[in-house]
Structure 1
Amino acid sequence: METLSIDDLPGGENFRDVTDIFVEAAASMEPGSFILREGFTLQDAMSAFEIGEPRLDSGMAGATEERPPFDIWAPLLPEELCWIIDRSFSYEMLWHAGNTLAHTVFTCLYALVISELHPDMMPFDLVDDALRPPHLIPVVLRASICGMLKCCDLSWRELCKGHVYDTEDWQSDKGDTSLLEGTSVQNVILGLDNATTWILRSKKVPEPWATALVARLNLRKALLQAMDANIFKAPSDFLDLINVARNHLQTVRTYPAPPPAPDSAARLAFDPYIARKLNSSVPLRVIDVSPVTETWDSLDALLDAWEEQRLLSLTSTVATWELAGNLRIWLNPPLRIPYARSSTQSVFYDGLLVLNKFNPTWVIDRFFFETLGVSYQAVAQFVASNSVAQWPQPWPDLQRGHFKLMTEYIRALWYNPPRRRRFFMRSLVDLHIYYTRLVAMVSGMPNLPSTNVMRHIPACALVWRLSVIREVVLSGFQLELYTSEEKPFAYWYASQVIEAHLACLDDMLLAVDPDCPAGRELRFQHSLLTALQAMVIPMFALSMPLMSFAWQQMHANFLRRYKWAFGPGYEISSVPVVAAPDFDEFMDVCGRILQDRTFSPSDSFELARSILTQLIEARSAGGYAGLWTNERIQLLRNLADACQRLQSVPRSMAELPSFDVGLLKWDPQINPWFPVLEPEGAERRRNVHVRRTQPYAAPP
């Protein structure tokens, strides 16, 4: 076998230094500029990782990123310690906002060396500086950082339950870094208590910083205890923890920490580029830290969410849970903290019991009782004794299906808004199948009068499904999904869904006891939907100028937007779908409403405002508002304000051609479903004509 010499190997050993050649060739280039050869591809760019191009290689530190070595035992002033703790809170809330641990919490270098940050490992040669007590680091700062890591650990465990979505709502990647998973909550709390005791007894921390540090330690302790608490075991104790945390948060706000000096060792406590040293596959990202006041506001929102969870844990009315979940979306701002949304879902259903004590039968019982005022047992007995059908009623299957639908629906109310809307669209087929089965059940009991509540058993599922459809349609405005051309159909279709819902409520009110909670809720829903319909119909007319009247293109957009209404699953049902979207009917209505000389958009908004005002003044919030009455009244006020802002719209359809539709501004921060009419609209609407691609025309 022939032996290869070293000169025959790839590269050999006869190297020549060509650095001078490249330096001379690049002499006229500006620093940071590129020369790209013809045909430069993404693969060529990715190969720069191998050669260490700092703009493409997140693991390479440039000259401007060099920093002094981090000394965990560098003495700190008490106010510098407060600044580090505050900044740690900020990074923790940034993680809750959906960023990775490597870019937020783990940028605190003390969190990465927490095992070394112990009083027994403190160097003996540290100077006992009166202004910078050495024990501040291993006692006070260590306790605070341990508390932060343990809070992140408890949050991580809750978020991993699957109620919210990894990489969509939050980031689970730990980068192979400890969150003190093996340390008990009690040990961390003991460390926080010891740190507080040391500050108070040693007298080495002067005021006001002693009070500031104690408040921060106690705030962390209260947050940790609240995350670890069982909300069902002692609701009053849970409320006490929330109130204690609020008091300490207020104290922390009162004692803000000043930014440390530019040469302070405190500034080295955070390294925004630490992700390149961690086992993380996420590209490096430097996150700007929000002002600390926003951090405290985020913590305040978390405390509000916990307080609402406590109230919900004491609420055994499913309709109230539904209302609370909807109000979190309808009233701005929605609940944005994924941990709070996940823990709220866990409070309702932990995978075994509802509200920690109820079985599946309870859920279906509450559904019929809260809708018709009769129990599930009464329904089952009536059907068994009055049905002429020869086949047995599939009560077990019906019960299992209803329980799954209901629990998933309530939990979905605390999804993020886009995910919530997608869930609702997918659930519509199952809701229609459920409605079909109830229709088949009632069909075996002929000749039931309209005043018999059992005749309206299918209506329970129908009003539920119509409510979901309405939310799917209107949430498109809140999520800003609709193009200008799609808005008229959305408003028109919402009016059709509401019309079907009102017809269903009219029938149910004939049989339900008007004085029971179910009856009061039905009457409130009827009034609210009447007002809402009086708002969406004029919005359909007013937004018609936004259409191009290219009917073929509009039909294609319609099929794309409302594909959820024509998906597979409906064909197995023999019962027609109620309030299905119909583009042909929409075309016909567009032609007729332009000729309607009696319809007044302005009067329609005035009618809606009148109904809403009566509800507000009577504080009539339905039978299941409960502790959320004020929030429901606020929803009515928001809708009434929307009517007031749209009072200057045309008084008749004859004035529509002179109305400037460009003055309608949709802003979800003002109202989730309806636009705002710019102030000058009242003066300009008669003089400015909207530009259209073609004149109004009826569909062919």
Structure 2
Amino acid sequence: MESLAIVDLPGGDNFRDVTNIFVEAAAEMEPGGLILRDGFTLQDAMSAFEIGEPRLDSGMAGDADERPPFDIWDPLLPQEICWIIDRSFTLEMLWHAGNTLAHTVFTCLYALVVSELHPDMLPYGLPNDVLRPPQLIPVVLRASICGMLKSCDLSWRELSKGHVHDTEDWQSDKGDTSLLEGMSVQNVIATLDGATAWLIRSRKVPDPWATALVARLNLRKALLQLMDANIFKTPSDFIDLINVARNHLKTVRTYPSPAPGPGSTAHLVFDPYIARKLNSTVPIRVIDVPPVNEAWHSIDVLLDGWEEQRLLSLTANVSTWELVGNLRTWLPNPPLRTPYVRSSTQSVFYDGLLVLNKFSPTWVIDRFFFETLGVSYSSIFHFVDRNSQSQRPPPWADIQRGHFKLMTEYIRALWYNPCRRRRFFMKALVDLHVYYTRLTDIAANLPSDLPRTHVMKQLPACALVWRLSVIREVVLSGFQLELYTSEEKPFAYWYASQVMDAHLACLDDMLLAVEPDCPASRELRFQHSLLSALQAMTIPMFALSMPLMSFAWRQMHANFLRRYKWAFGKGYELSPVAVVAPPDFNSFTDTCGRILQDKTFSPLDSFSLAHSIVMELIESRSVGGCAGLWTDERIQLLRNIARACERLRDVPSSMAELPSFDVGLLKWDPQTDPWFPVLEREGAERRRNKHVRRVEPYPS
């Protein structure tokens, strides 16, 4: 075959060496620097793979990344084994926090060669080092690594059910690396038990390291058993496993592992750049591994999540499930559960066939009406069947099917991440209005002489209070997620107060119809008091935040339509029943003018009223009929609301003082309070001293 001449090559042979031009141009740049031109695109970034840019090419290793070879059979001290196990726990918790396996668990090189660590493969002729027994690696360390990989496998299976979202809550990419999918849990447990038995019987590892290693292996075993357990089959065994794990964790903390010296081969066990050797599409990302105490804290939180799951599995009360899901979002402590716990909690509630592993769809709708109105679904069905004046029977099958789907998806959504949770609520509002329309049609066909205080007349209210509470959460969660601009905050507070006003009116009618001593009535009274307090806080916040607006009504209206587009979907046009408490921009602008002229309105008095309502609830411990085992946490929510009032004790006492109020002193921080701002103390002190009237502190 003839070779190509230079003149036949693309571009010919008229080339000039321009290396010096680029060298001189980059003379002032630091090594490793990068200049990005305007309009740098994804196509440009992908082209870097071809030119070998090390920061974008996962497979390229620079000179600085060179490391000594790793020998899986290098003898290790017992304390070094402890350190490796502790670090593997930390990496596993980092994966649960939303990082990829390639950047966390798989950076432990033993996880990639665990199949080669069998005791039968121990090389012949290793030195018999008393301080570094060779069995530590194929027996003890192998058992721990197997336990870690199998725990990740069980977690992966739960997370992949779709209750939480891949790449949003967690990372499913395995990089074509085994998580011991083909190895049974019992086999792994036997491996852990064998390692524990070797440590106890061989006496080749002296104390305290033998005790430290046994505690770590037992902790790994307990966590694996919890992930594999069926919470419904043996609830007593499940809590026993939680207590066992807590005891082992306490022992592990008592025997901390020191970091190996700089020359220790234990450091070679972890390679943060291992992703370049895996079948992974994500760029290299070196994650700073936190202190091991943070891993122990994460495991503590994981155990708390399992314990709460056990309590919820024994709770046949839908309102309590709703309460707990809301508390996990509203309270900063305990923090939002890990994706694994949130997914498994959803599985506990509904596994795709049964609710709480034993209840049918009919049970869900029955509990809903019983917990809301104090009457069963069957009694509603028979009453309507006997007294309906409609020529057509109500579509009970559609109602049951729609209610069950709405309720199960709604409860599950309470354990979504905050952004996904809010998005689900916005989409569910149309279906909730359709459900409200159906119940309104049923109530309209009941006898006209039926008094409004009759419980059957309040059927539509069941759906309405549900829908209004979802709207309230959509609006207030915007503060928690820091979605609102400064100009949007006054409308959000005003609209929240309007929704609460409609909710309170609905509760007033329901309380007249429900038996006063039933659990449903106690819950309705608590909700009425809580909403009264929140409304007493949102109205003054609307007034105080008005100076944040530009009063450019046309632009504000355009922003309003974008922010509240969920309230104007096409689904509402198909319903003959008007939407209750829709967002109304014209009413908002009218209210802005009226409240500025209202000489009797006092923001300070409103917060004082809210504080007194909440404190009365706390002191009486009247926390509703569904709090149950979460009574203390609901009281904690009330205390947080009371503290929010106390932080705003220096607001103006009348609207006449509003022009002199520095709205810049209001600082919204979701870590401090999810819905209401903090009034900076120094600025508030200056303002308070400026006025003759002194604001008295709230009574304790």
Q: Work out the CA distance in 1 between the residues paired with 2:508 and 2:485.
A: 34
Q: Work out the CA distance in 2 between the residues paired with 1:31 and 1:684.
A: 49
* Aligned position for 1:390: 391
Contact 1:660 1:688 in 2 (8 A): no
User: Does 2:185 correspond to 1:185?
Assistant: yes
* Aligned position for 1:695: none
Contact 1:75 1:132 in 2 (8 A): yes
Q: Which residue identity is paired with 1:592?
A: R
Quick check: 679-688 or 68-77, which moved more? Answer: 679-688
* Aligned position for 1:531: 533
Q: CA deviation at 1:58?
A: 2.1
Q: CA deviation at 1:56?
A: 3.0
Q: Work out the CA distance in 2 between the residues paired with 1:31 and 1:443.
A: 77
Pairing 1:102-141 to 2, within 5 Å after superposition = 102-141=102-141
Pairing 1:385-464 to 2, within 5 Å after superposition = 385-445=386-446, 446-464=448-466
Contact 2:58 2:282 in 1 (8 A): no
Q: Work out the CA distance in 2 between the residues paired with 1:544 and 1:40.
A: 39
Pairing 1:250-649 to 2, within 5 Å after superposition = 250-333=250-333, 334-445=335-446, 446-649=448-651
Unmatched tracts of structure 1, length 5 or more: 690-700
Q: CA deviation at 1:509?
A: 0.6
Contact 1:312 1:321 in 2 (8 A): yes
Q: Which residue identity is paired with 1:394?
A: P
Contact 1:658 1:687 in 2 (8 A): no
Label 1:624 to 1:160 Cα distance change in 2 as closer, same or farther (>3 A).
Answer: same
Q: CA deviation at 1:380?
A: 0.4
* CA deviation profile, 1:581-619 (whole Å, cap 9, x unmatched): 100000000000011111111111111111111110111
What secondary structure does 1:575 align onto? coil
Q: CA deviation at 1:46?
A: 3.7
* Aligned position for 2:698: none
Contact 2:394 2:442 in 1 (8 A): yes
Label 1:10 to 1:415 Cα distance change in 2 as closer, same or farther (>3 A).
Answer: farther
Q: Which residue identity is paired with 1:622?
A: G
Q: Work out the CA distance in 1 between the residues paired with 2:436 and 2:44.
A: 58
What's the TM-score once normalised by structure 1's chain length?
A: 0.95
Q: Work out the CA distance in 2 between the residues paired with 1:433 and 1:37.
A: 52
Label 1:426 to 1:17 Cα distance change in 2 as closer, same or farther (>3 A).
Answer: closer
Q: CA deviation at 1:33?
A: 5.9
Q: Which residue identity is paired with 2:31?
A: G
Q: Which residue identity is paired with 2:413?
A: A
* CA deviation profile, 1:310-335 (whole Å, cap 9, x unmatched): 00000000000000000000000432
What secondary structure does 2:625 align onto? coil
Label 1:562 to 1:38 Cα distance change in 2 as closer, same or farther (>3 A).
Answer: closer
* CA deviation profile, 1:514-566 (whole Å, cap 9, x unmatched): 11000110111111111111111111111111111111111111111100000
Q: Work out the CA distance in 2 between the residues paired with 1:285 and 1:543.
A: 42
Label 1:248 to 1:576 Cα distance change in 2 as closer, same or farther (>3 A).
Answer: same
* Aligned position for 2:248: 248
Label 1:137 to 1:37 Cα distance change in 2 as closer, same or farther (>3 A).
Answer: closer
Pairing 1:32-47 to 2, within 5 Å after superposition = 32=31, 42=41, 43=43, 46-47=46-47
Number of residue pairs aligned between Structure 1 and Structure 2:
685
Q: Work out the CA distance in 2 between the residues paired with 1:219 and 1:422.
A: 38
Quick check: 286-295 or 494-503, which moved more? Answer: 286-295
* CA deviation profile, 1:165-221 (whole Å, cap 9, x unmatched): 011111111111000000000000001111111111111111111111111111100
Contact 1:648 1:681 in 2 (8 A): no
Contact 1:659 1:688 in 2 (8 A): no
RMSD between superposed Cα atoms in Å: 2.2
Unmatched tracts of structure 2, length 5 or more: 692-700
Label 1:36 to 1:158 Cα distance change in 2 as closer, same or farther (>3 A).
Answer: closer
Q: CA deviation at 1:53?
A: 3.0
Label 1:611 to 1:283 Cα distance change in 2 as closer, same or farther (>3 A).
Answer: same
Q: Work out the CA distance in 2 between the residues paired with 1:277 and 1:161.
A: 29
* CA deviation profile, 1:50-95 (whole Å, cap 9, x unmatched): 2323233221111111001110000001111111111111111111
Label 1:221 to 1:16 Cα distance change in 2 as closer, same or farther (>3 A).
Answer: farther
What secondary structure does 2:379 align onto? helix
Q: Work out the CA distance in 2 between the residues paired with 1:543 and 1:622.
A: 32
Quick check: 54-63 or 489-498, which moved more? Answer: 54-63
Label 1:201 to 1:528 Cα distance change in 2 as closer, same or farther (>3 A).
Answer: same
Q: CA deviation at 1:15?
A: 12
Q: CA deviation at 1:685?
A: 2.5
Q: Work out the CA distance in 2 between the residues paired with 1:99 and 1:397.
A: 43
In percent, how many aligned pairs have the same letter? Answer: 76
What's the TM-score once normalised by structure 2's chain length?
A: 0.95
Q: Work out the CA distance in 2 between the residues paired with 1:368 and 1:192.
A: 50
Contact 2:305 2:337 in 1 (8 A): no
Q: Which residue identity is paired with 1:202?
A: S
* CA deviation profile, 1:127-185 (whole Å, cap 9, x unmatched): 11111110000000000000000000000000010000011111111111000000000
Q: Which residue identity is paired with 2:365?
A: I
Label 1:685 to 1:371 Cα distance change in 2 as closer, same or farther (>3 A).
Answer: same
Pairing 1:645-664 to 2, within 5 Å after superposition = 645-664=647-666
Q: Work out the CA distance in 2 between the residues paired with 1:239 and 1:39.
A: 59
Contact 1:336 1:416 in 2 (8 A): no
Label 1:38 to 1:565 Cα distance change in 2 as closer, same or farther (>3 A).
Answer: closer
